[in-house]
Chains A and B, each alone.
Chain A
Amino acid sequence: MNRRVLRRWVSNFMVGLMVVAVIIAVLPLLFILLNLVIKGAGSLSLGFFTRVPVPAGETGGGVANAIVGTLLIVGAASLIGVPLGVAAGIYCAEYPGSRLATVTRFVADVMNGTPSIVVGVFAWTLIVARQKHFSGLAGSCALAMLMIPMVMRTTEELIKLVPNSLREAALALGYARWRTSLGIVLRTALPGIVTGSLLSVARVAGETAPLLLTALGSQYFSLNLNQPMAALPLTVFQYAIGPYEEWHRFAWAAALVLILVVLTLSVLARLATRRRFTFND
Chain B
Amino acid sequence: MTEPTSLLATERLTAMYGKFTAVKDVSLQFAPNTVNALIGPSGCGKSTYLRTLNRMHELSPGGWITGRVLLDGEDIYGPRVSPMQLRRKVGMVFQKPTPFPTMSIHDNVAAGLRVNGKLHRGELAEVVEQSLRRAALWDEVKDRLKTSAVALSGGQQQRLCIARTIAPRPEVILMDEPTASLDPGGTQHIEELVFELKKEFTIVIVTHNMQQAARVSDTTTFFYMGNMVETGPTRQIFTTPKEERTEAYITGRFG
The answer to whether A169 and B116 have CB atoms under 8 Å apart is no
Residue ID in chain B nearest A190 by CB atoms: B102
Kindly identify which residue among B96, B115, B148, B154 contacts A173, using a CB–CB cutoff of 8 Å.
B115
Kindly identify which residue among B91, B98, B112, B154 contacts A166, using a CB–CB cutoff of 8 Å.
B98
Chain B residues near A277: list those with CB within 8 A: 101-102, 148, 150
Interface flags, B157-171, vs A, CB<8A=1, else 0: 100010011001000
Chain B residues near A169: list those with CB within 8 A: 94, 98, 100, 161
B81 at interface (Cβ–Cβ under 8 A)?
Answer: no
A171 at interface (Cβ–Cβ under 8 A)?
Answer: yes
With A174-B84, A174-B116, A175-B115 given, is the CB distance from A168 to B98 under 8 Å? Answer: yes
The answer to whether B84 and A176 have CB atoms under 8 Å apart is yes
Which residues 161-184 of A have a CB within 8 angstroms of B?
Answer: 163, 165-166, 168-176, 179, 184
Chain A residues near B94: list those with CB within 8 A: 165, 168-169, 172
Which residues 148-206 of A have a CB within 8 angstroms of B?
Answer: 163, 165-166, 168-176, 179, 184, 187-188, 190
Q: How far is the CB of B43 from chain A (nearest CB, A)?
A: 19
Chain B residues near A163: list those with CB within 8 A: 98
The answer to whether B98 and A188 have CB atoms under 8 Å apart is no
The answer to whether B56 and A172 have CB atoms under 8 Å apart is yes
Chain A residues near B112: list those with CB within 8 A: 173-174
CA gap between A281 and B150 in the complex, in Å = 12
B92 at interface (Cβ–Cβ under 8 A)?
Answer: yes
The answer to whether B87 and A173 have CB atoms under 8 Å apart is yes
Chain A residues near B92: list those with CB within 8 A: 172
Which residues 143-158 of B have a CB within 8 angstroms of A?
Answer: 148, 150, 154, 157
Which residues 251-281 of A have a CB within 8 angstroms of B?
Answer: 277-281
Kindly identify which residue among B54, B100, B101, B116 contacts A172, using a CB–CB cutoff of 8 Å.
B54
CA gap between A165 and B56 in the complex, in Å = 12
B88 at interface (Cβ–Cβ under 8 A)?
Answer: yes
The answer to whether A281 and B56 have CB atoms under 8 Å apart is no
B40 at interface (Cβ–Cβ under 8 A)?
Answer: no
B42 at interface (Cβ–Cβ under 8 A)?
Answer: no
The answer to whether A278 and B88 have CB atoms under 8 Å apart is no
Which residues 78-136 of B have a CB within 8 angstroms of A?
Answer: 84-88, 91-92, 94, 96-98, 100-102, 111-112, 115-116
Chain A residues near B116: list those with CB within 8 A: 174
Q: How far is the CB of B171 from chain A (nearest CB, A)?
A: 13
The answer to whether A171 and B56 have CB atoms under 8 Å apart is yes
Q: How far is the CB of A275 from chain B (nearest CB, A)?
A: 10
B1 at interface (Cβ–Cβ under 8 A)?
Answer: no
The answer to whether B100 and A166 have CB atoms under 8 Å apart is yes
Kindly identify which residue among A170, A175, A278 contacts B101, using a CB–CB cutoff of 8 Å.
A278
CA gap between A278 and B161 in the complex, in Å = 16
Q: How far is the CB of A223 from chain B (nearest CB, A)?
A: 38
The answer to whether A188 and B97 have CB atoms under 8 Å apart is no
Chain B residues near A175: list those with CB within 8 A: 84, 115
Chain A residues near B168: list those with CB within 8 A: 173-174
Chain B residues near A172: list those with CB within 8 A: 54, 56, 87, 91-92, 94, 165
Q: How far is the CB of A253 from chain B (nearest CB, A)?
A: 43
Chain B residues near A170: list those with CB within 8 A: 100, 111
The answer to whether A165 and B96 have CB atoms under 8 Å apart is yes
Residue ID in chain B nearest A97 by CB atoms: B61
The answer to whether A279 and B87 have CB atoms under 8 Å apart is no
Chain A residues near B88: list those with CB within 8 A: 173-174
The answer to whether B84 and A280 have CB atoms under 8 Å apart is no
Q: How far is the CB of A18 from chain B (nearest CB, A)?
A: 36
CA gap between A184 and B102 in the complex, in Å = 8
Q: How far is the CB of B144 from chain A (nearest CB, A)?
A: 17
Kindly identify which residue among A168, A184, A188 contacts B56, using a CB–CB cutoff of 8 Å.
A168
The answer to whether B98 and A179 have CB atoms under 8 Å apart is no
Kindly identify which residue among A168, A171, A173, A187 contacts B164, using a CB–CB cutoff of 8 Å.
A173
CA gap between A27 and B96 in the complex, in Å = 48
With A169-B94, A173-B168, A188-B100 given, is the CB distance from A179 to B115 under 8 Å? Answer: yes
User: Ordered nearest first, which 3 A-B pairs have the shortest CB separation?
Assistant: A277-B101, A169-B98, A174-B88
Besides A173-B91, A174-B84, A174-B115, 20 more A-B contacts (Cβ < 8 Å) are: A165-B94, A170-B111, A171-B59, A171-B87, A172-B87, A172-B92, A172-B94, A173-B87, A173-B168, A174-B87, A174-B168, A179-B115, A184-B102, A187-B102, A188-B100, A277-B150, A280-B96, A280-B98, A280-B154, A281-B96
**A-B contact list, 7 entries, CB within 8 Å:** A165-B94, A169-B94, A171-B87, A172-B54, A174-B115, A277-B102, A280-B181
